[in-house]
């Protein structure tokens, strides 16, 4: 949450910052702002709303400078307005700070500073930080870097921050704890980029350093990059090569990132199993977990921790791993797990699933599990993310950057990795017959082609969407591993169209939700062929008897549900365990079209941010 970007070097900083903010906007879009050093002055421009508002506000202004910082905000403390927008100045306008995270003890710091004569303009926690740095520098008469270090020693909470000062025009100071920060090393070691993730950096350099918790980086045009920690111990920067490509960050002809990402799924699913699966040879393996396989096989249970869509992917994994590999699985909301005093021991394996790899609750849940002796693994999409760095081992999903706030291709990639994991464990535990194992591998290899066939139904799905665009509510029903698909379908609809939607196991309907059904209630049902097909057919009849509208996802060639449903979307037949990888796609497309028809911003829905780095 919140995106930060900064530049120091020989180039004009303004266009680099604006472009960087646009790339980071998915992290929050309540306000945007920049501060630049120009001829000894520290100038600040900030505006409520999207980066486009800031661009409009700065239009025609003569903005220059080779060093600057920028911020795009997801509001935590203080409503979204111009004053609460970052950067925040010190009172004498000598220092400015951008910050992502939450300073939990800001109130105490603020009260103390007010007693010392500081006047606060905003309601943000960040303003306490900039005044604190300023106060320490003045009272302790120390260099800026020491003032930052001392300030961070008294701060409780999470931060990624960058400090700019007109007394130090050749340097920027950055620090992180629990919120991500990347340093890009530009030309001749005298030009630097700082950002919440690599997306604003990728077109300038592929040499990056990911800061670790409690590290402070000073980037200086004359002295290069120096990293220490808050205890002032010297750290050696670990320079990595970025594997990100610019075209992955652009819309590539689509109107929205969400649609581009939905249509990328045949490729992203394929990329996810490339090199890990070979049906002809009966081979399946996750390289990243190879050395830790015994821990998984001997685990008393596997506990998944995740949030949102990633939690739904874990729910699918529960069905897969328990049925195929016969290992006990539990799926926990990371936010509940971390505060529940859970019973965890060294016999447990805890796996975090996260697109961003930065979700605060998921990270904290992992840290708790580690402290209690469990082995901790991660399944992440963003390479180099915090979760991927703190875990014992893990696997990347290789879906490529997901910019749309609503998760689409990341979900199917997570389910793909989790399916590979279930199959590998089943193979090692010999819980499946050879023919069943081989048939599952073959089916999994065929999924990208089958997803393509669903994408071809875009126009039909759009027509169906038109019937339900004005609904106030919607229900999603499924059984078995289609239950998490129903949950995911409902989440997709509510987060981008603001229609109230709920997902239920189809049989649970009779225990309450059935009271909601009338002629205005669309009920989306995953009714594909499989163990529970007949049961789901009965559930559909129950909805029809109460005049509910049925939109059914059925297996190609189905006739029974077709007769009962108001609309059907046929999907190719596959193994029952792999249905989530296909059945999710039409639900994503439906939500997209409904949201668009309602005039919603599908890529940046209200109140949300892509990466939830605060709890
Ligand atoms: O980056 P993560 O996978 O950890 O994010 C978890 C959730 O915040 C995320 O899946 C969220 O629910 C999506 N907006 C759903 O589309």
Residue 294 and residue 441 in one domain: yes
CA of 310 relative to ligand 1 center, distance in Å:
6
pLDDT at 243: 82
188 and 73 both lie in a single domain: yes
SS3 assignment for 182-234: EEEECHHHCCEEEECCCCCCCCCCCEEEECCCCEEEEEECCCEEEEEECCCCE
For 541-588, how does the pLDDT look when each residue is reduced to its tens digit (9 = 90+)?
999 999 999 999 999 999 999 999 999 999 999 999 999 999 999 999
CB 308 near ligand 1, within 6 Å: yes
162 & 189 share domain = yes
Question: Can you say whether the dihedral through the CA atoms of 556, 561, 564, 567 is positive or negative?
Answer: negative
From the candidates 2, 272, 314, 600, give the one annotated as an active-site residue. 2
How much is the pLDDT for 60? 93
Answer whether residue 123 is part of any domain: no
pLDDT at residue 271 is higher than 90: yes
- pLDDT computed for residue 437 by the predictor: 97
With a 6 Å cutoff on the Cβ, whether 165 touches ligand 1 is no
- Verify whether ligand 1 is closer than 6 Å to residue 109 (CB atom): no
Of 393, 416, 445, which residue constitutes the final position of a domain?
A: 445
CATH number of the domain at 356, please.
3.40.50.10490
* Same domain assignment for residues 587 and 537: yes
In a domain, 396, yes or no: yes
562: domain range? 456-602
Ligand 1 site, residue 354, Cβ cutoff 6 A:
yes
Q: Do residues 461 and 259 make contact, with C-beta atoms less than 8 angstroms apart?
A: no
- Give the CB-side neighbour count of residue 412, counting CA atoms within 13 A: 33
On whether the CB atoms of residues 183 and 174 are closer than 8 A, the answer is: yes
Ligand 1 proximity of 583 Cβ (cutoff 6 Å): no
pLDDT value for 26: 87
2: which residues sit within 8 A by CB, 6+ positions away? 27, 28, 71, 72, 73, 74, 86, 99, 100, 101, 179, 196, 609, 613
- The strand pairing partners of 35, in sequence order, are 44, 69
Total domains in the fold of the chain = 3
**170/82 same-domain check:** yes
487-518 residue pLDDT tens? 999 999 999 999 999 999 999 988 998 999 99
Ligand 1: distance of its center to the CA of 546 in Å?
35
**Cβ-contact 409, 422 below 8 angstroms:** no
Query: What is the mean pLDDT of the segment spanning 434-439?
Result: 97
Rounded to the nearest angstrom, the gap between the alpha carbon of residue 395 and the centroid of all alpha carbons in its chain is 16
Q: Which residue has the tokens 């706030």?
A: 405
Assess if residue 321 is contained within a domain: yes
- CATH classification of the domain holding 30: 3.60.20.10
How many residues in the chain? 615
**Among candidate residues 412, 445, 478, the one where a domain is terminated:** 445
With respect to residue 151, please indicate whether it lies within any of the assigned structural domains.
no
Q: Whose CA is nearest to atom 14 of ligand 1?
A: 406
Q: In whole angstroms, give the CA distance from residue 165 to residue 163.
A: 7
In terms of domains, do 45 and 173 share one? Answer: yes
Task: Specify whether 272 is catalytic.
Answer: no
- 411 alpha carbon – ligand 1 mean position (Å): 9
Residue 612: is its pLDDT beyond 90? no
């Amino acid at each position: 949450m919140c995106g930060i970007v900064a530049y120091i070097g020989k180039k004009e900083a303004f266009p680099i910052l604006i472009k960087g903010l646009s790339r980071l906007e998915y992290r929050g879009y309540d306000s945007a702002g920049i501060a630049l050093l120009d001829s000894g002055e520290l100038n600040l421009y900030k505006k409520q709303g999207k980066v486009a508002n800031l661009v409009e506000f700065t239009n025609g202004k003569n903005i220059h400078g080779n060093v600057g910082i920028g911020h795009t905000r997801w509001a935590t403390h203080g409503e979204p307005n111009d004053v609460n927008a970052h950067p925040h100045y010190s009172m004498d306008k000598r220092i400015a700070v951008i910050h992502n995270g939450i300073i939990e003890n800001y109130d105490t710091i603020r009260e103390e500073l007010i007693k010392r004569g500081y006047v606060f303009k905003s309601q943000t926690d960040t303003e306490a930080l900039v005044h604190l740095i300023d106060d320490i520098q003045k009272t302790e008469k120390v260099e800026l870097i020491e003032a930052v270090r001392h300030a961070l020693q008294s701060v409780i909470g999470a931060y990624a921050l960058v400090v700019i000062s007109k007394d130090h025009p050749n340097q920027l100071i950055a620090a992180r704890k629990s919120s991500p920060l990347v340093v890009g090393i530009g030309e001749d070691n005298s030009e630097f980029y700082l950002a919440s993730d690599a997306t604003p950096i990728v077109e300038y350099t592929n040499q990056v350093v990911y800061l670790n918790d409690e590290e402070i980086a000073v980037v200086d045009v004359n002295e290069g990059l120096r990293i220490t920690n808050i205890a002032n111990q010297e750290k050696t920067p670990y320079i990595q090569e970025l594997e990100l490509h610019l075209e992955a960050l652009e819309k590539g002809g689509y109107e929205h990132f969400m649609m581009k990402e939905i249509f990328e799924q045949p490729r992203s699913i394929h990329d996810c199993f490339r090199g890990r699966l070979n049906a002809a040879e009966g081979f399946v393996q996750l390289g990243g977990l190879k050395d830790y396989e015994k821990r998984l096989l001997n685990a008393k249970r596997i506990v998944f921790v995740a949030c949102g869509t990633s939690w739904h992917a874990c729910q699918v994994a529960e069905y897969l791993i328990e049925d195929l590999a016969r290992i006990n699985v539990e799926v926990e909301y990371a936010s509940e797990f971390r505060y529940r005093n859970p019973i965890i021991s060294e016999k447990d394996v805890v796996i975090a699933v996260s697109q961003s790899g930065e979700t605060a609750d998921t990270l904290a849940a992992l840290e708790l599990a580690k402290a209690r002796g469990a082995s901790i693994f991660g399944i992440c999409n963003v390479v180099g993310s915090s979760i991927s760095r703190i875990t014992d081992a893990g696997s990347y999903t290789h879906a490529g950057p997901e910019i749309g706030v609503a998760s689409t291709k990341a979900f199917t990639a997570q389910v793909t990795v989790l399916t590979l994991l279930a199959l590998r464990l089943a193979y090692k535990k010999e819980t499946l017959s050879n023919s069943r194992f081989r048939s599952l591998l073959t089916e999994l290899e065929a999924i990208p082609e089958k997803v393509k066939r669903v994408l071809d139904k875009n126009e039909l799905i759009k027509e169906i969407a038109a019937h339900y665009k004005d609904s106030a509510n919607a229900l999603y029903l499924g059984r078995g591993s289609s239950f998490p698909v129903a949950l995911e379908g409902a989440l997709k609809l509510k987060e981008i169209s603001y229609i109230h939607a709920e997902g239920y196991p189809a049989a649970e309907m009779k225990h309450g939700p059935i009271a909601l059904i009338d002629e205005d209630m669309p009920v989306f049902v995953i009714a594909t062929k499989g163990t529970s097909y007949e049961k789901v057919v009965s559930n559909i009849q129950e909805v029809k008897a109460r005049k509910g509208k049925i939109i059914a996802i059925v297996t190609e060639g189905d006739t029974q549900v077709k007769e009962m449903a108001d609309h059907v979307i046929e999907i190719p037949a596959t193994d029952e365990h792999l249905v989530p990888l296909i059945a999710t796609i039409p639900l994503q497309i439906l939500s997209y079209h409904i949201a668009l028809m309602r005039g919603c911003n599908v890529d940046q829905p209200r109140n949300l941010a892509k990466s939830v780095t605060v709890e």
